[in-house]
Structure 1
Amino acid sequence: MAALTKGRKTPRFAGGGLRNLPVAASAVCFTGGLAIAAAGQARAGREGQGADNTAKAADAATYRAVGVFLKDVTGGSADGDVRVDVQEGVFAFKNSAAADEITQVDIGKPCFVVDDQTVAKTSPNSTRAAAGIVQEVGPEGVWVDVSLTNSALLAA
């Protein structure tokens, strides 16, 4: 699976609030991409960053999935120079493959951020943040309830 290279229309199932968040410096965010807050700054969903799994896990532990981006934006030269609207709700994302593929038996369970359009069943070495709760699996992908509340509860 590859991260987005341009904006896309992400199918939305229902509900959710609207947030306006500061964007991390130089972060590239695409419409419909899964948004995370990292140290309070919005950026595209991703796995934890670092030199090894310990560093990646520590980084991922600071991420909170907050919804999807409502427009394409690129962060300015400093954190918060640009702001973006993010919609909470139930959205369809691409499914991982093989052992990380989400199936019907995973409905009601947490799933994890791979990138800004892909979710997975697991978080190997705790290097992925919780994306939200699986609501459905269908031809559109994995329907996930993404909100700051769910993300915070799953991280606790």
Structure 2
Amino acid sequence: MTVLSSDRNTPRLDGDKRHGFVAGGSLIYAGAIVLRAADGYLHEGHTATGMVGVGRAEERIDNRIGADGEEGLTYRRGIYKFANSAAADEITHADIGSLAYAVDDQTVAKTDGTGTRSPAGIIDGVDADGVWVRFDEALTKAS
């Protein structure tokens, strides 16, 4: 490619909506935690390793009988409230700024469950109703 010799209308993405391809065998409900596996396919939040949280599902996608990438999903980055885990894995105000780990498609925990859970995002706040989680794939990977 050569250097520019005139103005260029460079494409950009606006907002926090993203689109990705869903892993075969996945059922992702609207509002669920969405994880990306190392192969790039999206999964519903669940206890597993080798994934990272990317956002909240904007729609329901059923790819339980489809192959990897047969269905696409719109998801949104941002800060969303999910259920808090319990006992030793309960997230508190002292954990704000730390990683939250995916337990299932609507629950996050304080720990990686002795190496069994993937990071969902960064803990942004905690209240009586749950945990506010910041979904930013690059930030979560860097943490």
**Shared topology, TM-score over 0.5?**
yes
Give the total of aligned pairs: 127
What is the aligned partner in structure 2 of residue 67 from structure 1? Answer: 55
Q: After superposition, give the CA deviation of every residue in 1:29-67 in whole Å (9 maximum; x if it has no partner).
A: 00000000112111101112xxxxxxxxxxx1x201100
Structure 2: which 5+ runs fail to align? 1-14
CA distance, structure 2, for counterparts of residue 77 and residue 105 of structure 1: 42
TM-score between the two structures when normalised by the length of structure 2:
0.84
What does residue range 1-156 of structure 1 map to in structure 2 within 5 Å? 17-38=16-37, 39-48=39-48, 60=49, 62-75=50-63, 77-154=66-143
Q: Which runs of 4+ in 1 moved over 2 A?
A: none
SS in 2 for 1:124: coil
**Structure 1: gaps of 5 or more residues:** 1-15, 49-59
Length-normalised TM-score, structure 1: 0.77
Q: Show CA shifts across 1:17-38 (max 9, x none).
A: 2110001112100000000011
Paired amino acid for 1:22:
F
Looking at both structures, which has the greater relative contact order when contacts are Cα pairs under 8 Å and sequence separation is at least 6? Answer: 1
RMSD: 1.3
